[in-house]
Structure 1
Amino acid sequence: MTAAGQLQSAPILGVSSLVKRYDTRTVVDDVSFHIEAGETYGLLGPNGAGKTTIISMVAGLIPADSGSIELMGAVMTPTSTRVKGHIGLVPQELAIYPDLTAKENLMFFGRLQGLKGKELRQRTDLVLDLIGLGDRAREQTKKFSGGMKRRLNIGIGLLHRPTLLILDEPTVGVDPQSRNSILESVETLASEGMAVLYTTHYMEEAERLCDRIAIIDQGRIQAEGTGIN
């Protein structure tokens, strides 16, 4: 096997024996999984199961009490500034400015991610098309529906071409049309080789999108297997 082949076969993300405690309560208990390039891995479970805590550790937002996280072969901790640049994080909470247009929001966050000039303009236009907001690019986002805001939130996480996209329940509270648009966007990204970590409590979403699914409850992986796709 060539060196390039070996690189392609290595997991994008590897999580091993992850543990997180708050006082005497263990909220993540010995969680391990990995994600390959082009794979969508789902964390399926009810609210409070530990999904958001897991992705917060994976993204380097909070430290693990024990266990390890590796992204593209590099150790991930809250101080791992360089490796964090390979992650696109889309949180449950909207992170957009309502008085700016969709395009202005993307341009602003793109600059924060180090993009500029022609590259920034091209990436902004490409992302607007991907999330289905090209025709609303110059409209203030405070006029957007909840689903449109969610789609823009995802677009912000895509601007810098992340290797791993983390989506934390991105369809909560959105209308059916926007929900379908979000799911189609995720399918497109995975087909183009992006690794995706997707949390949800909707079984039908996990079945549609995910190559493998881990059922999370009480901070532990209760079962893991392949999706139907």
Structure 2
Amino acid sequence: MSETEQKKPKSGWVNLAVDYGPLLVFFLVYRYYKPDGDDAAGEIFAVVRSTGAFIVASLIALAVSKLRLGKISPMLWLSTVLIVGFGALTIYFQDERFIQWKPTLIYVGFGVALLAGFARGKALLKVLLEAAFEGLSDEGWLKLSRNWGLFFLFLAVLNTGLMYALSFEDWLAAKLWLFLPLSFLFTFTQLPMLMRHGLDVGDKKEVIENPPTE
């Protein structure tokens, strides 16, 4: 069997489902169990149930990535491990702060790693994504790694600030309706730079469908 035949077909909707499906499940399950009024016990119950659903959905996304896309990127592996770990702590201690800190830690980790790689002349983003954007030069990958490293640090600061400024429900809504649009918008802003560094026009869709995510 040839290398071409062995490759799994690309699927934009599968990429989106793998990257963002678990977060959507987290949000919807929390909204379903969220108590009316001021009910501390009911709030904890909703957090525990939605966190459990988040863990299960993340593990399913991992399996779907392997079965449908033929790979699991290092970024997805790490994100899933942290979701399971911090989610388990949230459930055990019945404290939502653990799952809220998970994005900050992964943003800082990715940001520092990408910027450290940039300082050493290595485009670690290519390794984390396991992506190959046709025609993109090494310099283009290096600049993309630097830019995403800075953006990840910005997201870390933003997530931490919103944790303390918003209720859990509003923070969770922000993860879905603020962070995701920001990530897509940032991805769009990178296209002109990538085109200048040799990105094939036909690969623009792949760049948009495969932004780094937590």
TM-score (norm 1): 0.32
Return the structure number with greater strand share. Answer: 1
More helix by share: 2
When normalised by structure 2's length, the TM-score is 0.33
